Each structure stands twice: as structure tokens, then as C-alpha cells.
Structure 1
Amino acid sequence: MSQTRMSLTDAASGVAFTKGHGTGNDFVLIADPDGSRELTAEQVVAITDRHRGVGADGVIRAVPADRLREGQALLEQEPEARWFMDYRNADGSVSEMCGNGVRVFVHFLLAEGLVEAEPGQQVVIGTRAGVKRVTCLEHGYAIDMGPWSYIDAERAQESASDAVVAAHGLQDPRPALSISMGNPHTVVPVESQADLQALDLSQAPTVEPAAQHGTNVEFVAAFEPLIREGVGRIRMRVHERGVGETQSCGTGACAAAAAMRAWAGSEGSDSWLVEVPGGLLAVDFVQNEDGTEHVVLAGGAELGFTGTIG
């Protein structure tokens, strides 16, 4: 082990893992049925290192909800949420949840025999952003992501923006809109598909005012026409806090659709297709009987391979 970097073997020797992804957003998944495998930030960094470790955008630990304080609180509200998604970004930081990760997490639970569900049935899980209900589809999963909201509602409603973002490849800083999906997002519209492609997201964009705990930054470009047969269509690239640019971000796709719908006004739609470098995601806005508006995210999930560290 070097003085500055923990080796993969030292990080989690003997730990069995599965590698999976949702539209290219990739994760190392670890089953921890007795809650004894809590990982440190340094261990997560070693595992997700793409040159010295397994490589991933993050680590998902499947742990019984009753083994975590956050999970115990959720069980009081929803006893069905027996499994908790303990998600860490590649830099080791704790994250509220991940939309693509939720799909891969449920796919992993089913593959490991930790839950059972057929197409059309739901799996209920716990996350740091609350309980999530995931419907199994023939080819993928649909997640009720819960309600979305503006992070600064007053400014958003006054000017349809609440931040300014600068990034390499953008000629000038651009206005942006901050959306919460249980985790923070800042959505930036760009003029064209060519402008989107020209962005250099190897370095983190600058967001003003800076978010206290950081933010995911989504850059979006509309297709022409924006709405076709009642469905909105946008393309997105994302720089995720604690990770960097990723192939996809599920909560980011939801935030991007919410922002674009707000900017489109009466010309918008409640159904969106969001193209990301890793594939295609569907986002729908659904009105509930209690008057709240929830976001439903649908897409695929795949498990690639299994192994044991060390």
C-alpha cells in the first residue's frame, strides 16, 4: 500500500461484489445481509478507482434497513422497505440516492434472491431520500421518484433561473435552474446539440451561488421539434458531484425534464425522453390523488460480472 492511496486488497479483502450499470452509470454492488460491511470513504475510493480498483461511479451496499438508523426510521413509515440502498459516490462521499442506481440495486436484489417480484409487481426499498417504489417491467424498471421541487422556488418562479454556471466549452456563463429530486441538481440549457457536444466536463463546472453541499450539473439541449407526438425530447450530459462526468444520471434526467418543462410553459409535456451518453431514459410527471406531483423514471439495468476483492 502506498503512502497516499489505499490498495484494493486493503480496502475490502474477501468481499464479494457484482458490477452493474444503468444506461452506463456503473456501480459496484455489495450484499451485506448482516450489516457488518460498512465501508469507509477511503475504501470506496480504492474500490471505484478505474485503474487500480474495480472501477465505478459509486458503490451500493445492500443492507437490511433495520441495521441502519436511517433505515429504521423508514421502516416505521413503510414496513415493506426491508432493504436499504447505502450509496456512496466515487470520492467516498455519502449520497442521498441515485435514480439509475435504484434500478440496478433492485435488479441486484432480485438476482441475489434477496427479494422476489414478477413483471408488474413492485419492490419497495429505503434510501436516504426516502422510500422508493420500483415497478418491475418486462425490460427494465420504473421508479416512483417522489415529488420534485425548486431549490429556490421564489427566484425560480420570478425569472425561471436561480444560478449562473460556467464550464469549459461554454462561451459565456449561462443561467440555470436548481431542482431537488431528493438530491440537488442545477440544470443548464445550451443553444444546440453541437454546443452540448463541445463541452469539456473533465473539470467541474462553476456554479454561482455555490450550493452548500455541492450539486450535480446537467447540461441539456432540445431536439427539434421539442415535442413530438406529445412527448418531449432532450439530450443531456452531466457532471456529478463527487464523481465527474458520467454516462447517465437518473435523478439528473428527472431534474432536466422538470426544468425543460418549466421553460417550455404551455408548450411543454408531462412525458419526456432523455437521451444520455449511456442510453435512453423515460421521465413522466404524474398527478396523485392527494394533489402532489410525482416523477416516474423508467429505464434498463444490467449486471455485468461478479468477483471477490483480494
Structure 2
Amino acid sequence: MSLPQRVTKTHATGNDFVVYLDKSGKFEPSADEVRFLCDRHFGIGGDGLIRLTRPDFVSDLSDDQLSDVLAGGAKWFMDYRNADGSLAEMCGNGTRAITLFAQREGVADSTEPFRLGTRAGVKILTPRGNMRPYGANVFQVEMGEWKIGETDAYEVTIPGAEGSARGTFVDMGNPHVVAVIEDAFASLPVVESLDLVTKPVVAPVIESDQNVEFVRVDDIDQNTGVGEATMRVNERGCGETLSCGTGLCATGVVLRAKTGISHWDITVRGGTLRVDVADSDVKLTGAATLVADIDLL
């Protein structure tokens, strides 16, 4: 077994992870080990696994990727795997969970911004303490550049459900299709009634697969310039999750394109997070929690 004896269960607004520190690079997990640990019946359970290690110990990084991570000042790398064992570029909520863990392990300063390497570049996390309505152990994450495709270029359907919606592609370092529903262009059920156990179908097909977000605009305060929205998400390699950080950011990008509003409080099943969209980047603010340390037998 290429796993350490002790791992930690964490979550960030209900997006839950098995995490561990690998200072020496000895514990690169196999796909089978990831699936075992993330299994909610036969393992520990999680939407994914995060190995916190040195960038040099991440075997799939190209020389250019490694150089970019080191040039960005990241001494530690978030080696993220989906629950099905597949590699992933990054996980926005996972950045907060692993940074709180890094603080506990003494490799991140709890009072200073933390530079974290990912397969989607270096992310900078700033601790914000306790913030209403977002919770305790809040971090603001600089999620980096975003790219948006043609508005409503994709048709999104859910097997077994009547109707469809139009979706917009967003690249957040990983691929997303965001569908605004409960509007004139959508005939799917309301957000709360969607059955996301079954993977949504996106047409035309995206070769890399994608996460799919379904969002409803709840309110826009023209005085403060802050919007409120509700979102649910089906993640590739995971299924429906209670929260998705990059999905929240992609949602903020699409809502900005549709409404002109750049600041959003978005509620997912795991809580409320803040998304602030600028022309060149997007910031995500939300909480993180350490749940338990677990000794593997």
C-alpha cells in the first residue's frame, strides 16, 4: 500500500476530502487506493483525495508545469484525485480544505497568504478568520484567469427528466458548462427538484468531459451591486456534490456576462460562498473544516 498510516477527513462547504501530508514523496496513491479511501461504504468517504506534497514529487507534471509552479512561489502542491481515481487539474473547495490542513501541520502560516501549487497553476489563499454568512476558518482564494465561451452554446438535458436548458462553457483551469434555469430559455424543473444522481448530458459533446452547474438568480441588490443565486452541481468523476469551488466561480462568470453584476453570494447545498469576478481573474471566499484524523489498519 502506497498510503501513509494516518489520513485526515476534511470538508469545505460539504465538499469532502481525504487528505494527507507527504513530505518525502513516498505516498503517491494508486487509482484503486483513491477509490477505496473515497468509497462511502467500504472506505472513509469523500468527493476526492488530496496529497499535499512538494511539487518535485508530482510525477505527472511536465518540466514546464513544474517550472511555472516553482516560479509562482509554491513550495507545496495539491495533488488532487477525483473519487473515481482520475487525476484532476484542481478543486477550488479543496484548496481551502488543504490549506487549513497545512496550517495545522505547520507548513502554512495561519496569518499569511499561502501559495499552493495545482495542475491549474498557483493559487493564493488568504485567511479571513470567521465571516458571516460564510462561516469559520474562511479563506479567500485567488482562482486565477477564466475563459468563457459563446453564451448558451450547449444544450443540457438530464436523463429521465423532461425539458432542457442552455449552457455556457467556462474554463476555470478545468471545464464547466453553466446552465441558468428557471428562465425563458429553460424547461427543466426548478433547481431544488433536479435529479442529479444521473449525469447530465451536454451537446455538443466536450471531449474532456465537464462539470455541469445549474443556477437560479434569486436577487440583485442594485444599491450594493451584489447578487444572490442558488446552484447545484454534478462533477465529472464524482456525481452531485454539495459544493464545487471552480463551479461556483464559473457560475459567477456566466452570471456576470448575463447581468453585468460582478459580486455574488451563491448558496449551494453545503452553504453560502462569495464569488467576485474581475476582467482577468476571479476570487472565491468560503469556509473549511477539519473533521477527523483516521489511522488506517
**What's the offset of the Cα at 1:65?**
1.3
CA distances 1:45-88 after superposition (whole Å, capped 9, x unpaired): 0100000100000000001112225363234422x300000000
* Structure 2 Cα separation of the partners of residues 141 and 294 of structure 1: 16
Partner Cα separation in structure 1 for residue 195 and residue 189 of structure 2:
12
SS in 2 for 1:138: strand
Identity of aligned residues (%): 39
Contact 1:107–1:302 (CA<8 Å) still a contact in 2? Answer: yes
Structure 1 equivalent of residue 228 of structure 2: 233
Equivalent residues of 2:14, 2:242 under 8 A apart: yes
Which one of the candidate residues 118, 131, 137 is aligned to 1:127? Answer: 118
Q: Which residue of 2 aligns with 1:280?
A: 272
| Conservation of the 8 A alpha-carbon contact between 1:74 and 1:81 | no
The one-letter code sitting in structure 1 at the alignment partner of 2:71 is Q
Q: Which residue of 1 aligns with 2:286?
A: 299
Structure 1 residue 203, shift from structure 2 partner = 0.6
Q: Deviations over 1:266-294 (max 9, x none)?
A: xx31111110000011000235xxxxx11
State which drifts further: 61-70 or 24-33.
61-70
Offset at residue 228 of structure 1 (A):
6.5
Aligned-partner Cα distance in 2 for 1:99–1:226: 26
Aligned-residue offset at 1:33 = 0.5
Letter in 1 for 2:291: G
| Helix, strand or coil at the partner of 1:147 | coil
Query: Which residue identity is paired with 2:283?
Result: V
After TM superposition, the structure 1 = structure 2 runs for residues 137-216 of structure 1, keeping only pairs within 5 Å, are 137-139=128-130, 140-150=138-148, 153=149, 156=150, 160-168=151-159, 170-191=161-182, 195-216=190-211
Q: Structure 2: state its 5+ residue gaps.
A: 131-137
C-alpha spacing 1:34/1:177, structure 2 compared with 1 (3 Å): same
Q: Deviations over 1:172-209 (max 9, x none)?
A: 12111010110000001110797111110011000111
2:237 alignment partner in structure 1 = 242
In the alignment, what sits opposite 1:99?
A: 92
Residue ranges of structure 1 left out of the alignment (5+ in a row): 1-9, 288-292
Indicate conservation of the 8 Å contact 1:170/1:195, yes or no: no
SS, match of residue 278 in structure 2 = strand
Cα pair distance change 1:255/1:227, threshold 3 Å: farther
- So what's the TM-score if we normalise by structure 2? 0.90
Q: Is the 8 A contact 1:227 1:233 kept in 2?
A: no
> Which residues in structure 2 correspond to 1:48-87 (within 5 Å)?
48-68=38-58, 70=61, 72-78=66-72, 80-87=73-80
Letter in 2 for 1:111: R
**CA 1:199 to 1:93, structure 2 compared with 1: closer, same or farther past 3 Å?**
same
Is the counterpart of residue 309 in structure 1 residue 290 in structure 2?
no
1:34 match = 24
How many pairs are equivalent?
282
Q: Quote the offset at 1:169 in angstroms.
A: 6.7
Determine helix, strand or coil for the equivalent of 1:146.
coil
Q: 190-199 vs 29-38, which deviates more?
A: 190-199
Q: Report the CA distance between 1:39 and its aligned residue.
A: 0.6
After superposition, the Cα gap between the structure-2 partners of 1:262 and 1:169, relative to the gap in structure 1 and judged at 3 Å, is: farther
> Structure 1 residue 260: deviation in Å?
1.4
TM-score (norm 1): 0.86
